[in-house]
Structure 1
Amino acid sequence: MQLIQDFYGRRYRIGETDRLLLGRPRVWVLVAAWAVMLAAGAGQYGYGALLPGLVAERGWTWQQGCWVLAVWTVCQSATVFVATRLPPAVTLAVGGVLCAAGFVALAAAREFPVVLASHAVLGGAGAGLVYGTCQSTVARWYPERPSLVAVVTGAFAYGSIPFLLTGPTPAAAVVLVLALGAALILRTPPDDWWPRHLDPRQWALDKTLNRDLRHNRPAIRQYSVAEALRCPVAWLLYLAVAGAAAVALFDIAYLAAFHGLLAAGLFAATSGLTRVGAAWAGVRFGRRTVLCGALATAGVAQLLVLVAPTVGACLAGAAAGACYALLPGIVQGHFGERLALPSFFYGAKAVGGLLGVLLAAYVGTAGFGVTALLGLVAATLISVLRQPGRPILASW
């Protein structure tokens, strides 16, 4: 085992193989994380699709049904950051039990307060623990291939589609089994671990070896969360993420109610399936450029939904997926590779998601004008981001 440092001050621990540390190839971690994420996202995308039926069946008001989704979103995004601080076996086991409990309550309970406390609070917190654990663990095992994180987070979206056919009861059993199974497999490598087949110092500087360097410049140094928060650019990025979340959650709450399950299903499918492509495009053309385009597309798609719901839902879903696929790389490009940082900025979903769902609950169709504007504002904020500590003339 050897500790080395590159030109940008990043540290690497080399010499230990994944088989030595895990007892198996690291691809097991990727597959296990992907599998459990398939079930965990049903509480968001699946619930949104079934929301009109739940409201009609249980005698809730439309606003009550939306409040369940809003609180679920807040609890899910708030616990993602917590998951990066605890052992994966613990967070996955607890997260799986909470998710399953939430689904059981959603299937069995008719009373709004019970569903709000169980599915929204407990189920949302459980989903956040699963999401944060899977995302951060895969990132740590694949530091040289960050786009693989998008494979895992994409499952959080398209994995909810079977939920539309089976309902919440089977989802409870599936998420519990997968989470407990993944808890037996997922382990975190030592801090700064790096695969020994690749020279990290060469990878950090050689654009032929690391194509990401051609259009994405690494952060000038490694920031802690506290240091990042002292940079004005961090708050611009936080607002942009909140705006993107507001657009996405408005669509999740609105599409099924006013345009049917097909539109909601297409939104979830495209949100998940386009994430790997968005991650590739971020390497090929630059993450900031692609993210600006995705956010602008999200804004335009809001208006398109009104006249062509199917096309608009596909574009909106693809744009939402691209935003979440590119977020970790955008954060790392500005503030470095501390694992807690992407999870902190993901927490902006709590603010934006609450706004988006409540727009769907209380404003309705007129909310499309607001979310269209939010998408364009978020694109503008991303376009003016500059790496802290780097002279403006030298920034990308």
Structure 2
Amino acid sequence: MTAEPFAASGASGRADASYEKFQEVTDARGRVYRIGESDRDILGRPRWTMVVLPWVAMIAISVFEYAFGAAENTLSAAHHWSSSNTFWVLSVWIFFQASVSFPAGKLREKGILTSRKAMLTGSVLSLLGFVSLSHAPNVAAAMVGFGLLGGIGSGLIYSTCVNMVGKWYPERRGGKTGFVNGGFAYGAVPFIFLFSYGFDTSNYRTVLDLVGFYVLAVTLVAGMFFKDPPKNWWPSDIDPLRPPTDPRTAMALAKNPPAAAQFTPGEALRTGVVPLMWVCMLCCAGVSIFGISFQVPFAKDMGFGPLIAASSMGVMSVINGTGRGVVGWLSDRLGRRYTLTYVCLTLAVAQFGVLWAGEMHNQPLFLVFAFLSGFAGGAFYPLFAALVPDYFGENNNASNYGMVYSAKLVSGLFGGGLGAMVVDSWGYVGAYVMAGGVSLLAAALSLLLHQPGAPRARAATV
């Protein structure tokens, strides 16, 4: 990659006097890089803190989604709801958790909503979500409180945390994004066992209220230290116009080269790649949410005891989270598009396997496929989160990824509420076979992804 310096600028027009002089350079494709400022110049501390703090916050909000299936029986009994009604509450939460990502991203990129304000707002709304779920007089109130308020709150936190990492690690974002994203799954493990063994109609209000205050405390403290880097920022120790000397960074950039330009949401949409990503994520997320919602009920229906049922979900959550980090790390070495295809295929195998092991009443085999389901059911999230800035740049990543992530608001309806209807009509066999088929469709769609502005020959390695 060869180019001439684009411009050199001082600190004019910037309110933060701690920023020293920086330089903007452009590569042969016209992409601008802002160099000369270290992470400590901007943050006053190393940038790895902007991996750890988002990770901690993601751990806290994971209880919303990944522990809900374990709490379903008690919630239904305590509130006198049907199982379908209870899962529709989760579906509403998923809808708003996903839908807030794009508008929040636009507000962040315009400077109206800082990352810190997004976190603090999300913390308070998350608390209100759990308090509403514990004291809701009816399903409608739970949908408004837990579904709408809790969904918006956790969505603000989720999107802020995920997008933060890609901005601070533009040269090697796969493993870091996967690590942070993983907290959204395995952070729920203690609550899965709590809701399976220590959660009943006599204490459910107290437990849910305490969980809400736990989420508030953790996300509030972490969010106080959030800060985005300047637009076009590039690490000061890496020359964007020359091959990196660090072999790990060199491999990551070779397999996942920087975007050809900083695409606006409209420009990204017009490439045709965003709609393709959206449908692919719709399929993956729908299957993942289905597994999260119904694996414990399916295990119990197959005659497995509460320990196996809870353990299968615990295994799913742990592997779902750790798998995100592992897959992110692998994608830096293998290429993100190839890794995404492998993950979709694994997700398909897992759906058929869980059904097969359950029908055979084979507990060890059931846990093995729960392992695979958990691994693949979360691994695609950090891959999409890293693919979007890979393809469209970091400057508008919050809103660009918000467009893709909005697929989850539709998939929540398929995986949760409509999933319950399919189980009621076709049984678990029909539902799991359908989930496996949808996963295979996602694998086929992933083969069509390519980096806009890049030659197709090179894009095939992305």
CA contact (8 A) 2:178 2:329 kept: no
Match of 1:248 in 2: 288
Report Cα offsets for 1:270-327 as digits up to 9, x if no partner. 1111111101211222211111111111112111111323222211110122101211
Match of 2:78 in 1: 57
Pick closer, same or farther for the CA change 1:295–1:175 going to 2, 3 Å. Answer: same
Shift of 1:331: 2.3
Pick closer, same or farther for the CA change 1:17–1:208 going to 2, 3 Å. Answer: closer
Work out the CA distance in 1 between the residues paired with 2:459 and 2:169: 27
Secondary structure in structure 2 of the residue aligned to 1:13: strand
Match of 1:380 in 2: 444
Secondary structure in structure 1 of the residue aligned to 2:444: helix
- The answer to whether 1:29 aligns with 2:45 is no
Match of 2:97 in 1: 76
Match of 2:236 in 1: 196
Match of 1:369 in 2: 433
- The answer to whether 1:102 aligns with 2:161 is no
Higher alpha-carbon deviation: 183-192 or 23-32? 23-32
Work out the CA distance in 1 between the residues paired with 2:26 and 2:183: 34
Match of 2:212 in 1: 172
Secondary structure in structure 1 of the residue aligned to 2:413: helix
CA contact (8 A) 1:51 1:256 kept: no
Work out the CA distance in 2 between the residues paired with 1:100 and 1:298: 33
Identity %: 36
One-letter code of the match for 1:28? T
Work out the CA distance in 2 between the residues paired with 1:205 and 1:334: 24
Pick closer, same or farther for the CA change 1:89–1:394 going to 2, 3 Å. Answer: closer
Shift of 1:198: 1.8
One-letter code of the match for 2:433? G
Report Cα offsets for 1:85-120 as digits up to 9, x if no partner. 220121111100011111122223352222111011
Work out the CA distance in 2 between the residues paired with 1:387 and 1:15: 28
Secondary structure in structure 2 of the residue aligned to 1:132: helix
- The answer to whether 1:155 aligns with 2:183 is yes
Tell me which of 293, 297, 313 is aligned to 1:257: 297
Higher alpha-carbon deviation: 362-371 or 64-73? 362-371
Shift of 1:350: 1.0
Tell me which of 168, 179, 189 is aligned to 1:141: 168
- The answer to whether 1:283 aligns with 2:283 is no
CA RMSD of aligned residues (A): 2.1
Report Cα offsets for 1:151-206 as digits up to 9, x if no partner. 11110111111223274333211211122212321111211222212222225799
Shift of 1:27: 2.6
Work out the CA distance in 2 between the residues paired with 1:41 and 1:15: 37
Match of 2:416 in 1: 357
Higher alpha-carbon deviation: 212-221 or 158-167? 212-221
CA contact (8 A) 1:78 1:350 kept: yes
CA contact (8 A) 1:66 1:357 kept: yes
TM-score, normalising length from structure 2?
A: 0.81
One-letter code of the match for 1:231? T
Work out the CA distance in 1 between the residues paired with 2:454 and 2:251: 22
Pick closer, same or farther for the CA change 1:214–1:3 going to 2, 3 Å. Answer: closer
Shift of 1:211: 0.7
- Structure 1: where are the runs of 5+ without partners? none
The count of residues paired between Structure 1 and Structure 2 equals: 396
- Structure 2: where are the runs of 5+ without partners? 1-21, 196-206, 300-308, 358-365
Spell out the pairing of 1:207-226 with structure 2 (5 A cutoff): 209-226=249-266
Report Cα offsets for 1:328-347 as digits up to 9, x if no partner. 23223433333132232111
Pick closer, same or farther for the CA change 1:4–1:393 going to 2, 3 Å. Answer: closer
- The answer to whether 1:42 aligns with 2:72 is no
Secondary structure in structure 2 of the residue aligned to 1:193: coil
Shift of 1:133: 1.0
Work out the CA distance in 2 between the residues paired with 1:108 and 1:371: 34
Work out the CA distance in 2 between the residues paired with 1:123 and 1:236: 29
TM-score, normalising length from structure 1?
A: 0.93
Work out the CA distance in 1 between the residues paired with 2:355 and 2:406: 30
One-letter code of the match for 1:356? G
Larger radius of gyration: 2
CA contact (8 A) 1:219 1:336 kept: yes
One-letter code of the match for 1:183? G
Spell out the pairing of 1:319-330 with structure 2 (5 A cutoff): 319-330=376-387
One-letter code of the match for 2:387? I
Higher alpha-carbon deviation: 102-111 or 69-78? 102-111
Pick closer, same or farther for the CA change 1:234–1:224 going to 2, 3 Å. Answer: same
One-letter code of the match for 1:13? R
Report Cα offsets for 1:215-266 as digits up to 9, x if no partner. 3344443322111212233222210010001100111111122212222222
Shift of 1:393: 4.8
CA contact (8 A) 2:347 2:376 kept: yes
